């Protein structure tokens, strides 16, 4: 479906929701046909020739821009950036306590791609934000049946972030025109923020004096206390991605040969932070050894890591903790992070494996 690989874990056919397979998560840049998809409604049909991007709200001049104008009038920029859904690794929270109505996303609601397009900052500079503007909202063409009345998907980011060169209005992904399922003809890419802020099928930008008040920012994508219930303005609005990591190989429940065993995974720090270190324990956290960080794709991308550990015969619990550039590390366990929407599970990943005698 949508030209995707068969090893994606499909959570829903319509709207299409699928996470990247574990094998593909090991690639430094995620192939487009393996990249996860999170949608809240059917993929809209858009005529790229008739499509226009409207820029309005608290601006000196409103704009209506065709794709051709965007390409011709602005410098093309490229950024390698990891996108990660706020529900990444939710399945671990669901194992503690049920979360009705939410998909059991594993560690594959994330991926890294090379995005190209125009800097949002350049478009905003042409429109001229007015004094008092503080936020920039985005509205897509997709309609979500999740709410009554049906509403377009939207969200916003602070103007300070929107004015930085890494935030793109992207028309290519991994060197090829953006696919329909990934937001063609134009989508937002907001490095360091949850995937919900990288609005697809972008049709309207609104410069505002307050954050977006639509359902998906004001109600849905919020961290609600464990004893609370989702509602308008309840909890903490989600924005910056929390420091996270995962073990990709071996996998939970595997049996491996005793002796030297290579362990691999990914780590990602959102916001302006970067992954500074990854530690691995083979004894449930009693002792730790530092892993090697692999290729550095830049400030806005994940870091893969690897380490070779010596496993004696028997059962082992492998535990991982990433550290970011602010000297923050991951929480110790999933249980302390449970919440009614299953968001922001950035607990230390742990797997149990058996080392055979030969």
Geometric angle at alpha carbon 179, from 184 and 68, rounded to 5°: 45
Q: Is 3 inside a domain boundary?
A: no
CATH number reported for the structural domain that contains residue 308 in this entry: 2.60.40.650
CA atoms of 245 and 330, how far apart (whole Å): 9
pTM equals 0.96
Peptide bond into 297 cis (omega under 30): no
Peptide bond into 51 cis (omega under 30): no
Structure tokens at 12: 């829903």
Phi, psi for 335 (deg, rounded to 5): -60, -35
For residues 191-201, give the mean pLDDT: 98
* Enclosing H/E stretch for 250: none
Q: Is 343 inside a domain boundary?
A: yes
- Same domain flag for 193 and 261: no
Alpha-helical (H) ranges within 99-185 are: 120-127, 159-162
Structure tokens at 1: 């479906």
CB neighbours of residue 92 within 10 Å: 21
The domain boundary, picked from 212, 237, 262, lies at 237
pLDDT tens digits, residue range 210-223? 999 999 999 999 99
Number of structural domains in the chain: 2
Structure tokens at 182: 């990934």
The DSSP 8-state label assigned to residue 192 in this structure reads T
The helix/strand/coil state of 160 is helix
Q: Is 2 inside a domain boundary?
A: no
Q: What pLDDT does 146 receive? A: 85
- Same domain flag for 227 and 271: no
- Same domain flag for 139 and 279: no
Mean residue pLDDT across the chain: 96
The helix/strand/coil state of 180 is helix
Percent of the chain surpassing pLDDT 70: 100
Q: Is 110 inside a domain boundary?
A: yes
- Same domain flag for 205 and 185: yes
pLDDT band for position 354 (cuts 50, 70, 90): very high
The domain boundary, picked from 209, 237, 265, lies at 237
Q: Is 42 inside a domain boundary?
A: yes
63-72: b (≥16 Cβ within 10 Å) or e: bebbbeebee
- Same domain flag for 165 and 256: no
Q: Is 1 inside a domain boundary?
A: no
Structure tokens at 244: 């996270």
- Same domain flag for 179 and 253: no
Of 350, 58, 13, 39, give the one whose Cα is nearest residue 179: 39
- Same domain flag for 120 and 177: yes
- Same domain flag for 32 and 154: yes
Q: Is 210 inside a domain boundary?
A: yes
Q: Is 4 inside a domain boundary?
A: no
CA atoms of 154 and 136, how far apart (whole Å): 11
CA atoms of 344 and 85, how far apart (whole Å): 9
- Same domain flag for 297 and 217: no
Q: Are 233 and 218 spatial neighbours (Cβ–Cβ below 8 Å)?
A: yes
The domain boundary, picked from 208, 237, 266, lies at 237
CATH number reported for the structural domain that contains residue 233 in this entry: 3.90.420.10
The helix/strand/coil state of 343 is coil
- Same domain flag for 260 and 125: no
Structure tokens at 116: 């190209």
pLDDT tens digits, residue range 71-88? 999 999 999 999 999 999
CA distances from 18 to 15, 189, 272 (A): 10, 19, 28
| Residue 358, pLDDT above cutoff 70 | no
CA dihedral 339, 340, 343, 344 (to 10 degrees): -10
Alpha-helical (H) ranges within the chain are: 22-25, 67-73, 90-94, 120-127, 159-162, 215
- Same domain flag for 281 and 327: yes
For residues 137-153, give the mean pLDDT: 93
pLDDT tens digits, residue range 206-260? 999 999 999 999 999 999 999 988 899 999 999 999 999 999 999 999 999 999 9
For residues 316-326, give the mean pLDDT: 97
- Same domain flag for 35 and 170: yes
Domain encompassing residue 221: 9-237
């Amino acid at each position: 479906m949508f030209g995707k690989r068969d090893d994606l874990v499909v959570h829903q056919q319509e709207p299409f929701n699928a996470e990247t397979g574990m094998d593909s998560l090991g690639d430094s840049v995620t192939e487009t046909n393996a990249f996860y998809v999170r949608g809240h409604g059917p993929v809209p049909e858009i005529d790229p020739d008739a499509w226009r991007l409207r820029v309005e709200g608290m601006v000196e001049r409103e704009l209506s821009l065709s794709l051709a104008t965007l390409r011709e009038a602005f410098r093309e920029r490229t950024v390698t950036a990891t996108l990660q859904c706020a529900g990444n690794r939710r399945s671990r929270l669901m194992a503690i306590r049920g979360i009705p109505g939410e998909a059991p996303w594993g560690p594959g609601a994330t991926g890294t791609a090379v995005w190209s397009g125009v800097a949002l900052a350049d478009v905003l500079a042409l429109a001229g934000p007015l004094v008092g503007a503080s936020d920039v909202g985005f509205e897509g063409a997709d309609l979500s049946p999740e709410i009554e009345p049906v509403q377009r998907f939207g969200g916003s980011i602070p103007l300070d972030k929107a004015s930085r060169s890494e935030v793109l209005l992207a028309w290519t992904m991994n060197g090829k025109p953006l696919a329909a399922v990934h937001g063609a003809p134009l989508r937002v890419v907001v490095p360091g923020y949850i995937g919900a802020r990288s609005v697809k099928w972008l049709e309207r930008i609104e410069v505002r004096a307050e954050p977006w008040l639509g359902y998906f920012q004001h109600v849905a994508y919020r961290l609600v206390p464990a004893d609370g219930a989702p509602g308008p303005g309840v909890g903490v609005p989600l924005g910056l991605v929390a420091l996270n990591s995962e073990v990709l190989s071996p996998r939970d429940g595997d049996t491996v040969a005793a002796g030297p065993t290579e362990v691999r995974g990914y780590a990602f720090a959102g916001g302006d932070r970067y992954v500074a270190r990854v530690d691995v324990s083979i004894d449930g956290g009693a002792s730790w050894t530092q892993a090697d960080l692999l290729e550095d794709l830049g400030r806005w991308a994940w870091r893969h890591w690897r380490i070779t550990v010596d496993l004696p015969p028997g059962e082992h619990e492998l535990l991982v903790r990433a550290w970011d550039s602010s000297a923050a590390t991951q929480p110790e366990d999933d249980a302390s992070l449970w919440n009614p929407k299953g968001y922001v599970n950035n607990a230390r990943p742990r797997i149990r494996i058996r080392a055979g005698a030969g």
